[in-house]
Amino acid sequence: MVLTDLQQGQQAVITNLAVANEVVRQRLLHMGMHEGEKVCVKCVMPFGGPVMVEVDGQYICLRRKEAACIGVR
């Protein structure tokens, strides 16, 4: 399952950060998105817009393309 499979309000644990762009991957790591970290989907924007998640008390907006590369369970 990937992050975009979750509905608003659902929580999961990050299992894989398979973001293709290494710069984006490093930025996500610096913002606290590590494997094993809990993530909660706060808002899913319409029309293919970004996904807002909460990780370790921080709100992060991700492009849907990047969120689709983050594995969760």
Question: How high is the pLDDT of residue 8?
Answer: 97
Question: How high is the pLDDT of residue 20?
Answer: 80
Q: Vertex 1, ends 68 and 73: CA angle to 5°?
A: 115
Question: How high is the pLDDT of residue 19?
Answer: 85
Q: Which domain holds residue 43?
A: 3-72
Question: How high is the pLDDT of residue 46?
Answer: 95
pLDDT tens-digit profile of 21-66? 899 999 999 999 999 999 999 999 999 999 999 999 999 999 999 9
CATH number for the domain that contains residue 16:
2.30.30.90
Structurally, the chain folds into a number of domains equal to 1
In the chain, the amino acid numbered 29 is L
